[in-house]
Amino acid sequence: GTHAGGAADLGNAESGIVVNGASRNLIGGSQPSARNLIAGNGTAGVLIFSTVVGVTASANIVEGNYIGTDATGTAALGNAEDGVRISVNTSDNFVGGAAAGAGNLISGNVRNGVYITDLGGGSSGGSNRVQGNLIGTDAAALPRWGTSKMASSSKTVWTTRSAAPPPALAT
């Protein structure tokens, strides 16, 4: 969603990254070299869901990314909706994590930093987890641009800043 320097908004008309009916994807990583800059998009920065009958989008990991900011994490380049949206027919997805570098910077987005929902049919919320992220701050953890809220209309949202690792996902 930005130019090569990571400072100008060249976002897509829709979501930046879409995972539909797929499982076990890693978006980003705990090393800075694996970081994605997901900003300036027309809807959600990251959208995880499944429209495939009988298929659940599960065990996807979103970690170490800058979502809704510039490449330095000091200026807002928000997505037009949520930073991360986990929607229908999902379970056991992770946003962030306990390992060093696994947390995402999620700020500057128009709606929620992270939104987990089962609205629109299907089911969602089966142990989707959010952990160790900076939401609504800059990269130095200073309050900046809002979207510090976590929204959920799902069955289960687990949030923590604990150093303990999240439980292993079933294979």
pLDDT at 120: 52
Q: Answer whether 67's CB lies under 8 Å from 137's CB.
A: no
For residue 94, the surrounding DSSP H or E stretch is strand 94-96
Distance separating alpha carbons of residues 104 and 132, to the nearest angstrom: 8
pLDDT value of position 96: 96
User: What one-character-per-residue DSSP string does the chain give?
Assistant: -B-TTS-SB---SS-SEEEES--S-EEE-SSGGG--EE-S-SS-SEEEE--STT--EES-EEES-EESB-TTSSSB---SS-SEEE-SSEES-EEE-SSTT---EE-S-SS-SEEE--TTSS---BSEEEES-EESB-TTS-B-S----EEE-SS-EEEE--SSPPPPPP-
Q: What's the pTM value of the predicted model, to 2 decimals?
A: 0.83
Q: Is 64 left (phi over 0), alpha (psi -120 to 50) or beta?
A: left
Q: Tens place of pLDDT for every residue, the chain, 171 residues?
A: 777 777 777 778 999 999 999 999 999 999 999 999 999 999 999 999 999 888 999 999 999 999 999 999 999 999 999 999 998 899 999 999 999 999 999 998 988 889 888 755 555 556 889 999 998 888 998 877 655 455 544 433 444 333 444 444 333
pLDDT at res. 1: 74
In angstroms, the Cα distances linking 63 to 60, 93, 120, 123 are 10, 11, 26, 24
How confident is the model at residue 159, as a pLDDT? 43
How high is the pLDDT of residue 122? Answer: 56
| pLDDT given at position 146 | 56
Distance CA 19, CA 153 (A): 20
